């Protein structure tokens, strides 16, 4: 059960109990509540992360106002939801909201909540674990996302690590909080081998202390290999969402950017970011860049950066540093032995077979209205297409239907979109130098054909830049 009034009272009750119980720390507050009370100027309370503490934190006493309630619950006019309750009051000048009778507020809340809801809030789990079946504070606390995975904490740490002279580092590394990762494991269709490797690494993360106790520290470095669009980046991001971990992504080709100056130093700093955000997932895209650089006549500074990178990979550990390192490459044939041996597991991402394509189509059409939908028949028509390609096909089918003012699709719409995708794909793969004259607007009949497909081809190319890989 939920309602605006229940959301507001839960927030108010949580803040009240947090102020009363000094043994509670920010890790006991639900993430939206932490965001509402976070202050960049606050001195953080010890919460088990003092060795990598960012500036800012949450200070007692927590003050409940219209603004903090809105920030935590998303309600635009929170006082309207509880103004008729006899145990609440509000100061007009400050907007501060409080209880006139806390016992009455607790009783009101207890009558309207359930164990599942309380278990998402460790503060309330501590209060009600003796009164409600299936409520356990320790379990609720363990399941609550740690504060160092919150966006506010991440931003504070990055501000601490990078001053104005280091702004170019933001071109090298991107950090996402788990709440910002939209991809979930339910959105993916995986091979048995992929699922097996993911289950193994999730168990390794869960049992890090045991692995350390038996001396097994060289674990937790994965290399994803496969063509573009097969889901390498999507799987890494979905893992971050599933495990509630910050996602640190770096494209290795960026170390050659003219704006990055001291490249080896910047590589060191990227690894420092990952270690200070730990536990986290550190995703290195375009890993084949390492081998290409080592085998080429690149500038000595770039080669030093790559050597620094390889050394840093050797030194980082899931068990010791709580960093799961994932590399990804579209060109495994370009990797040399020095690159391969940095990873303890290789995960193959092949193009999907017919059964996988049908499953992918089912997943990406879950919220679509399609008459006579036959994913198996569509899978037979899309041999060689990746998951990313299939999403593009569905996107074009939807857009084409919208031009006819339709939100319901048909199987024929999807089949037509497949044909259009194949035509555009063939056009992109043509040797433009040999036949360029025929593709210039104004050269006879070619003008009409090219003009018709030009926007779609460009749009597809741009979409691949965001892709699921």
pLDDT tens profile 34-89: 999 998 776 655 544 444 556 678 989 999 999 999 999 999 999 999 999 999 99
Distances (CA, A) of 175 to 9, 53, 116, 246, 371: 34, 17, 31, 7, 41
**pLDDT given for residue 298 in this prediction:** 59
Rounded distance, CA 37 to CA 30, Å?
11
Give me 94's structure tokens. 């400050």
Helix (H), strand (E) at residue 424 = helix 411-428
Residue 30, SS3 per DSSP: coil
Domains (range + CATH), the chain: 4-146 (no CATH), 162-339 (3.40.50.300), 354-464 (1.10.8.60)
Rounded distance, CA 392 to CA 461, Å?
10
Mean pLDDT of 309-323: 88
Beta bridge partner(s), residue 198: none
pLDDT of 447 > 80? The answer is no
Rounded distance, CA 256 to CA 238, Å?
29
Q: Where are the alpha helices (DSSP H) in 23-76?
A: 31-37, 66-73
Asked if residue 390 lies in contact with residue 416, where contact means CB atoms within 8 angstroms, the answer is no
DSSP string, 358-392: HHHHHHHTTT-EEET--HHHHHHHTTT--HHHHHH
pLDDT of 273 > 60? The answer is yes
Global confidence as pTM: 0.77
pLDDT level of residue 457 (50, 70, 90 thresholds): very low
- Torsion angle, alpha carbons of 118, 123, 126, 127, to 10: -80
């Amino acid at each position: 059960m939920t309602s605006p009034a229940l959301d507001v009272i839960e927030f108010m009750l949580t803040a009240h109990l947090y102020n009363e119980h000094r043994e509670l720390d920010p890790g006991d507050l639900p993430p939206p509540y932490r965001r509402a009370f976070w202050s960049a100027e606050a001195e953080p309370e010890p919460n088990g992360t003092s060795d990598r503490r960012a500036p800012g934190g949450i200070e007692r006493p927590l003050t409940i106002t219209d603004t903090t309630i809105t920030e935590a619950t998303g309600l635009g006019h929170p006082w309207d939801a509880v103004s008729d309750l006899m145990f609440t009051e509000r100061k007009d000048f400050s907007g501060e909201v409080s209880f006139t009778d806390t016992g009455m507020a607790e009783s009101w809340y207890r009558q309207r909540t359930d164990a599942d809801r309380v278990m998402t809030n460790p503060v309330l789990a501590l209060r009600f674990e003796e009164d409600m079946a299936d409520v356990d504070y320790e379990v609720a606390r363990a399941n609550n996302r740690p504060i160092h995975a919150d966006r506010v904490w991440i931003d504070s740490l990055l501000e601490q690590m990078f001053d104005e002279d280091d702004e170019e580092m933001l071109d090298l590394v991107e950090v996402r909080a788990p709440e910002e990762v939209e991809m979930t494991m339910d959105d993916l269709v995986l091979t048995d081998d992929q699922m097996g490797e993911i289950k193994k690494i999730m168990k390794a993360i869960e049992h890090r202390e045991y692995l350390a106790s038996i001396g097994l520290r060289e674990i937790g470095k994965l290399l994803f290999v496969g063509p573009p669009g097969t889901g390498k980046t999507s799987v890494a991001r979905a893992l971050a969402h599933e495990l509630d971990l910050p996602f640190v992504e770096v494209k290795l080709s960026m170390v050659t950017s003219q704006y990055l100056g001291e490249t080896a130093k910047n590589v060191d700093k990227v690894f420092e970011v990952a270690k200070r955000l730990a536990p986290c997932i550190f995703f290195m895209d375009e890993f084949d860049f390492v081998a290409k650089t080592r085998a080429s006549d690149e500038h000595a500074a770039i080669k030093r950066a790559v050597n620094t990178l390889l050394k840093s990979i050797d030194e980082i550990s899931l068990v010791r540093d709580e960093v799961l390192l994932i590399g990804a490459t579209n060109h495994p044939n370009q990797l040399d032995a020095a690159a391969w041996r940095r990873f303890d597991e290789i995960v193959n991402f092949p193009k999907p077979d017919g059964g996988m394509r049908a499953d992918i189509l089912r997943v990406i059409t879950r919220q679509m209205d399609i008459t006579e939908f036959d994913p198996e028949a569509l899978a037979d028509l899309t041999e060689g297409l990746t998951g990313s390609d299939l999403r593009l096909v569905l996107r074009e089918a939807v857009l084409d239907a919208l031009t006819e003012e339709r939100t319901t699709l048909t199987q024929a719409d999807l089949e037509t979109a497949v044909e259009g995708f194949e035509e555009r794909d063939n056009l992109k793969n043509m040797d433009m130098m040999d036949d360029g004259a025929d593709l210039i607007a104004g050269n006879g009949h070619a003008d009409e054909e090219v003009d018709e497909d030009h926007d779609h081809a460009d749009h597809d190319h741009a979409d691949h830049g965001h892709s699921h890989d």
